[in-house]
Amino acid sequence: MFYFIDMQREKILEKLLSSKKIVFFTGAGISAESGIPTFRGEGGLWKKFKPEELANFNAFIKNPELVWEWYQYRRKIVKNAEPNLGHKTIALMQKYFDVTVVTQNVDNLHIRAGSNLVHELHGNIEKNYCIKCKKRYDYVDFNDDDKISKCECGGLIRPDVVWFGEMLPQVQFSNSENAAKNCDMIFVVGTSFLVYPAADIPIKAKISGKFLVEINLEETELTRFADVSLFGSAGIILPQLLIEFEKIKLNV
């Protein structure tokens, strides 16, 4: 039927044609083509910086200025970045499917690309809150100031991201679990699949019989569970899939 497409993509297209609800579970790799560094692998943030000094609550209490400066550095990268073709294709898919995005990313790019239903499992780097009175602050409240601000109550203001050792936001997590349980297929895009409990979501989808497609530059821990793995850039593969799907669906 799809003689011009390789067998792996043919399987995905056949499944897409009979699907209504799709989950995209994404990681840092989907934002790599927007110029946002990933965490692991070549050029990854955890190659240059130490998570134990920057991404946990004790580190923040010990050296709030350093942690704040690091998040301001990352916020500036995010602020100057634009959603790429990967994010945009996922948003375009909403024309044909009920799409839920479950992301480990804190960069807001899925929302900026136009995805309507996004569960942020690790928080959002543009948001902050006071550790004492919980008052919320947006990035714009600090602009590009690298010096940490204090809340009017005197408490330290921290980024609204999940640090190592912290719980994931429960509502976001259970909404993500439900989306994975109730979808027709799940795409897992640009994640090394090493960080739990987020990584439980695709595994639960797979256990409940969902068709799982992985898109990554390389093999991961998830590859052996995937129905299909496509290796390459998300910003190339996702638009190709959408074009191939539209050709068949719209009969052009």
Task: Give the residue numbers annotated as catalytic, written as ranges.
Answer: 122
118 binds ligand OAD (CB under 6 A): no
φ and ψ of 114, to 5 deg: 110, 5
- Residue nearer to ligand OAD on the CB measure, 16 or 189: 189
85 binds ligand OAD (CB under 6 A): no
DSSP assignment, residue 156?
B
Residue 28 CB, shortest distance to ligand OAD, in Å, is 3
The neighbouring-strand residues paired with 103 are 26, 120
One residue of 65, 218, 243, 249 binding ligand OAD per CB under 6 A: 218
234 binds ligand OAD (CB under 6 A): yes
Q: Which of residues 1-60 bind ligand OAD (CB under 6 A)?
A: 27-29, 32-33, 38-41, 44, 55
Residue 234 CB, shortest distance to ligand OAD, in Å, is 4
Q: Give dist(CA 194, CA 51) in Å, integer.
A: 15
CB count in 10 Å sphere of residue 233? 18
Q: Is 245 helix (H, G, I), strand (E, B) or coil?
A: helix
Alpha carbon 131 to chain centroid, angstroms: 25
Site string for ligand OAD, 148-187 (x = CB under 6 A): --------------x-------------------------
| Alpha-helical runs (H) found in the chain | 7-17, 29-32, 45-48, 51-54, 57-62, 64-80, 85-92, 109-113, 170-182, 200-207, 234-249
Residue 159 CB, shortest distance to ligand OAD, in Å, is 10
Which residues contact ligand OAD (rule: CB under 6 A)? 27-29, 32-33, 38-41, 44, 55, 104, 122, 162, 190-192, 194-195, 215-218, 220, 233-235
